[in-house]
Structure 1
Amino acid sequence: MKRKTKIIIGLASAAIIVCGGLFGAGMYFYNVAVVPAPKSFLSKSKPIKKGDALYPAHKWYQEANKQRWNEISATRHLKLDANYIAAAKPTNKTVIIAHGFMSNKDNMFDYAYMFHNLGYNVLLPDARGHGDSQGNYIGYGWPDRLDYVKWIKRVIRHNGANSEIAVFGTSMGGATTMMVSGVKGLPRQVKAFVEDCGYTDVYSEIAYQAKEMYHLPTFPLVDIVSGINHVKNGYSFKKASALDQVRKNTRPMLFIHGAHDHFVPTRMVYPLYRADKGPKQLLIVPGPGHSRSFHNRPTLYRDTIEKFLNRYLK
């Protein structure tokens, strides 16, 4: 009996140690994946100098007349920040631009410049926990989708009921764009979506990164981190699914992905494209890198977006 008791106590102790270790690892990777902070795996942007290809866009953005807009998030009562830049000629057409993971509105200056040159007003929000917006977690587009609905309604109030709006985003912003597309009761003024290199769902993307960067298996670590995130922030990684959202979408969407993307793997775009229920187009852009399609093939990128949006925003 004493021997059995010792064995049970030993097993229980081992289980507690293992569970404690897994929870500790889960908290560590929660901080890596979900807490807004500098990330060692992200490349640092270099200062833009005169003569650089991006210099004209950067100079324009620095000098542009930016209206500072604020909104309160759809949940958690967070103060959100955005820049609105009116088109050179008055128009009711606006593109709302969603940035990527640990980026911010100001880093989207090149896309803002592109849309400005195409004649659109542009709105550049900071997502929760990014830039000048409040928040202590990264929403990966899921809670943010409801915030973008509020930004959409803000544009309509500003530019009138005849507004025509497109939502555009890259990487996490691309996933956000797709997540917005499936929101029930989305205002009719939203005419089209353009997503660039977004992921199918948060669980799959984090599982992919856990394997690629840390050589870790999906189970149980990603599930533990997802559980921690659900308790802290109200959503699980599997629930945060762009794939499920595009299945509900009936409005036009342009899907863009780099041909050799190894951060959000190119293969993710195909099930997203197939699942979408609205008018759609797929552009696979030659060249390496993540969220580099615009820079790899700027003319192809701009012309494809221009022609796509011209079909749906009159």
Structure 2
Amino acid sequence: MKMSKRTAAELVAPMLVASSFFGASLRLFNYAFKRVDYVPETSAEKQKYADAYWQYMDWYKQVNKATWQLHPNDAANHLVAHFIPAENSKRVVVISHGYKGNGSTMANYAQMFHQLGFNVLLPDNRSHGSSAGEYINFGWLDRVDYLDWLQMIIEKVGPEAEIVLFGASMGGATVEMMSGEKLPTQVKALIANSGYSSIEAELAYLLKKQFHLPKYPFVPLVSLINKRRLGYYLNAVQSTTQLKKNHLPIFFIHGDHDSFVPSEMAFDNYSATQGPRELWLVKDATHVESFWIDPARYQRHIVAFLKKYLPERK
């Protein structure tokens, strides 16, 4: 039977549309998930904090620190962290960095905690900094890596270690996702600054805001690509699901003018957790700006939270 040109076009057109959707989704995946070996420049709204940022970086470069490694003989899974010791202290904070950053970009938080008497561990997450990896996993695989970092802390600092987990942006979500795992008893409290509720919701939000694209079919196609590349669908990457299993004290910090991770996600995370919880919604703060607006006030809030759940030893 001879096929008309119209019939052939009607059959081919959906295939072309599907192919174009998949191609666009592949480009989106590579744009968002593929590692970059540099730290992108901060947003224009935060350039006013550049001098302060570099002062913290100067401190980080000069402070005494040791390099820790996981899986050093496994090129695909080799992970690196830096440990800043505190004299005569068993308290340790593990600081999880943000998207396309690395441990050193958290120097401001590291200095704050170090001055409060904490040893500080600053991992480079998979596909960031000196750690291996081709694709960013948005905290889902990192949460398991951090369990190994926790065991290393306990081995090196001792079983009497008192550990706080802290993260900002993607690092905040990483801490939230860790909360649903079986954590060592040495972990006493969690602090999540500007973490998202789920990566699907975050991608859908940014697709609409930045590219004016709908969730469907792009997010499901990106999820399918992620399954092929990293082994899981994106609907697995949910802070809220993990927080439902959490019973540790957790402090959520979020800017009420955050246009990258909307503040509604902070309320979703706050509602999900089962442990003692506090939420500080910072007036006029954009994404991860809460510290920079007033570092002293930020520190006071951190100290007040920790005094409740990590009292001084007598």
Q: In structure 2, what is the equivalent of residue 139 of structure 1? A: 137
Instruction: From 229, 242, 245, give the equivalent of 1:245.
Output: 242
The aligned runs of 1:212-227 (5 Å cut-off) are 212-227=209-224
Deviations 1:191-220 (A, max 9, x none): 110000000000110111111110000100
Note the C-alpha offset of 1:39: 8.8
Q: Secondary structure in 1 aligned to 2:110?
A: helix
Instruction: From 267, 271, 274, give the equivalent of 1:270.
Output: 267
Letter in 1 for 2:255: G
Q: 1:76 to 1:189 in 2, by over 3 A?
A: farther
Deviations 1:282-304 (A, max 9, x none): 10112232111001122221111
Q: In structure 2, what is the equivalent of residue 35 of structure 1? A: 34
- 2:301 pairs with 1:304: yes
Question: Is 1:96–1:122's contact at 8 Å kept on the other side of the alignment?
Answer: yes
Partners of 2:40 and 2:254 in 1: CA distance: 24
Question: Is 2:40–2:100's contact at 8 Å kept on the other side of the alignment?
Answer: no
The aligned runs of 1:1-314 (5 Å cut-off) are 2-3=2-3, 7-37=6-36, 43=43, 52-54=51-53, 56-72=55-71, 77-87=76-86, 89-183=87-181, 185-314=182-311
Note the C-alpha offset of 1:77: 4.7
TM-score in terms of structure 2 length: 0.92
Question: Is 2:247–2:274's contact at 8 Å kept on the other side of the alignment?
Answer: yes
Matched positions, count:
308
Q: Secondary structure in 1 aligned to 2:305?
A: helix
Q: 1:258 to 1:48 in 2, by over 3 A?
A: closer
Mean Cα deviation higher: 29-38 or 154-163: 29-38
TM-score in terms of structure 1 length: 0.92
Partners of 2:228 and 2:70 in 1: CA distance: 25
Q: Secondary structure in 2 aligned to 1:272?
A: helix
Q: Secondary structure in 2 aligned to 1:274?
A: helix
Partners of 2:94 and 2:13 in 1: CA distance: 52
Letter in 2 for 1:67: A
Partners of 1:2 and 1:174 in 2: CA distance: 61
Question: Is 2:64–2:84's contact at 8 Å kept on the other side of the alignment?
Answer: yes
Note the C-alpha offset of 1:47: 11
Deviations 1:98-124 (A, max 9, x none): 000000111110000000011100000
Q: 1:63 to 1:39 in 2, by over 3 A?
A: closer
Question: Is 2:240–2:268's contact at 8 Å kept on the other side of the alignment?
Answer: yes
Mean Cα deviation higher: 34-43 or 235-244: 34-43
Partners of 2:131 and 2:31 in 1: CA distance: 20
Runs of 4+ in structure 1 over 4 Å off = 5-8, 38-42, 44-49
Note the C-alpha offset of 1:271: 1.2
Q: Report the aligned-residue RMSD.
A: 2.3
Mean Cα deviation higher: 37-46 or 235-244: 37-46
Mean Cα deviation higher: 217-226 or 64-73: 64-73
Partners of 2:215 and 2:133 in 1: CA distance: 27
Deviations 1:238-265 (A, max 9, x none): 1100010101100000000011100101
Q: 1:26 to 1:155 in 2, by over 3 A?
A: same
Deviations 1:120-142 (A, max 9, x none): 00000000000010100001000
Letter in 1 for 2:2: K
Q: Secondary structure in 2 aligned to 1:288?
A: coil
Q: Secondary structure in 1 aligned to 2:52?
A: coil
Letter in 1 for 2:234: F
Partners of 1:189 and 1:161 in 2: CA distance: 7
Note the C-alpha offset of 1:23: 1.2
Note the C-alpha offset of 1:237: 1.7
Note the residue ranges of structure 1 that are not aligned, 5 or more in a row: none
Note the C-alpha offset of 1:8: 4.6
Question: Is 1:285–1:297's contact at 8 Å kept on the other side of the alignment?
Answer: no
Q: 1:302 to 1:24 in 2, by over 3 A?
A: same
Partners of 1:269 and 1:154 in 2: CA distance: 31
Q: Secondary structure in 2 aligned to 1:295?
A: helix
Aligned identity (percent) is 40
Mean Cα deviation higher: 201-210 or 229-238: 229-238
Note the C-alpha offset of 1:41: 8.9
Partners of 2:42 and 2:19 in 1: CA distance: 29
Partners of 1:237 and 1:48 in 2: CA distance: 34
Partners of 1:271 and 1:217 in 2: CA distance: 22
Note the C-alpha offset of 1:267: 1.1
